[in-house]
Chain A
Amino acid sequence: MKRIGWSLVSVAFFAALLIAWQLAADAKLLNPLWFPGPDRSFGKLWEWITTGALWSPLADTVWRMFAGWLAACVAGVGLGALIASSTLGRRLLQPSAEFLRPLPASAILPPAILLLGFSDAMIVFVVAFGCVWPILLGAIHGFGSMDQRLVEVSRLLNLTPWQRAWKFQLPGAAPHIFAGMRVSIAIALIVTVASEMLSSQPGIGYLMLVAARAFRSADIFAGIIVLGALGFVTNFATQKLEDWLLRWR
């Protein structure tokens, strides 16, 4: 009962802010050229939905985001398992991974454009590059920190390295990998939108940049709402997926 009460308060607070925004826009306290009120912003979003103008760019953005992210998940877990399985691999590769991790993912956009041109493949590649580091480092850490007793058990059971990785190491590493994947999905959205803006590939990011050049501020705000919703939904979904897959813990 008390929780429901607080959710109502929290909704009321949010609504009050929206009303304040509307009043400020109506009173021309905010320059209408730059700041449309919520009526015009949500109105534009509703227009996109009803005319169907939203779906094609949204599908483009979502596709690029997930293609890059999934590629990073596969590469990160595979490489991570490989690096963690041998001390030599770890010594050789971990410093390079640590060096590349703080590099802004968008910084490889200019060379990627030189090599791949303005294309979908270029964006997916840059997204994957940006997403791979948290997953890779999570996987290295997860696979590397296997309990010594489990190593002995697997030796007693005469397991092949492959069986050992699948039965013991992957479940142990999963929480670290998922933590990396959840960080990466947020990176995927940011890099996708930035790449679309730079390379003029159709998508939500490009739509918004074109709107800014034409001073159509309602379109910009509708785009911000869409991207915020996309960020919220993807974060929520990966969180739920993680809870469900790790429910045995």
Chain B
Amino acid sequence: MGAIIPGGVLVLWEVLSRMGVLSEDGFSRPSRFFVAGAKALADGTLLAQTAQTFAAAGQALAMAAIAGIVLGAILGLFRPLERAASLTIESLRPIPSVALIPLSLLLFGFSRDMSAWVAAFACFWPILLVTISAVRSVDVRLIEVGKLLGYSFPRIIVKFALPAALPAILVGIRVAAGIAIVVTVTTEIVTNPRGLGFAMTMAAQSLQADLVWATLMWVGVIGYLLNWSLERLERRWLRYR
């Protein structure tokens, strides 16, 4: 049932552009962009660009997860510190990630680091907030046990606090993974000479409408599959809990 609408739109699109109602320059036509997409897939450029985008997004997620979990664990365990930092967090969090593109461009030039740092800023907040609340809700008795065993503070965090908070943190990381892809593609579209976003901007600037639409559909499929598999993974994790 769900395939009727997209299929219908594509057929209508093809018919209208063949009749000349939709301009070839902008709309191209479905038969053309499936060919353009297949060609880009076959010669490997699309896959190479996808790999570049995923590498930047993965780097962003890793950096955000490390910073978010470490800081979140510290703030979650020391309530006074969290209260002291609250104004700072509330004033930095609303900064839209793309506002950092010019700064990142200045610092890293046209590189993978550039999009990764911008995306990492966006991914950091959900992971930080989820970690704070997850660590705070860890049973106090677990910490007491750690103290009785004579464990050092970092050891208590690693052995007791983080494992108990892990399921909630993983949910935060799943949310952040979606954000990482979106912000990476955005940064690539705006400035960065790499990845899927760059591929689309280049195709648009050289007026290859068929390649623009093909890449857009590829990005849609990738985003959907990523979302779907992360949800599956999370459900599997929750079942074990």
Contacts and interface: CB of A to CB of B under 8 A. Distances in A.
Interface of A: 6-7, 9-14, 17, 34, 91-96, 99-100, 102-111, 113-115, 186, 189-190, 193-194, 197-198, 205, 208-209, 211-212, 215, 217, 220-221, 223-224, 227-229, 231-232, 235
B219 interface: yes
Contact of B186 (A194, A208, A232): A194
Interface string B105-117: 1110000000000
B197 A106 contact: yes
Contact of A93 (B5, B86, B91, B97): B5
Closest 5 CB pairs of A and B: A95-B2, A231-B94, A212-B102, A110-B204, A228-B95
Given A104-B223, A228-B94, A111 B2 contact: no
Given A99-B224, A110-B203, A92 B213 contact: no
A119 to B, nearest CB: 13
Interface string B80-101: 1001111110111011111111
Interface stretch (B139-147, B156-164, B177-185, B232-240): B177-185
Interface residues of B, number: 56
Nearest to A7: B87
Contact of B4 (A9, A92, A208): A92
B57 to A, nearest CB: 11
Contact of B189 (A13, A109, A212): A109
A131 B103 CA distance: 26
B44 interface: no
A5 to B, nearest CB: 10
Residue of A7, A95, A114, A209 with highest tally of chain B CB at under 10 A: A114
B220 interface: yes
Most chain A CB atoms below 10 A, which of B92, B106, B227: B106
B16 interface: no
A73 B3 CA distance: 26
A190 B106 contact: no
Given A102-B224, A114-B212, A115-B27, A107 B197 contact: yes
A106 B107 CA distance: 23
Given A95-B1, A96-B2, A115-B26, A194 B189 contact: yes
A106 B185 contact: yes
Given A34-B103, A103-B220, 5 more contacts: A103-B224, A189-B96, A212-B103, A217-B106, A224-B99
A144 B188 CA distance: 38
A106 B185 CA distance: 8
Contacts of A96: 2, 5-6
Query: Which of B80, B95, B96, B97 has most A Cβ within 10 Å?
Result: B96
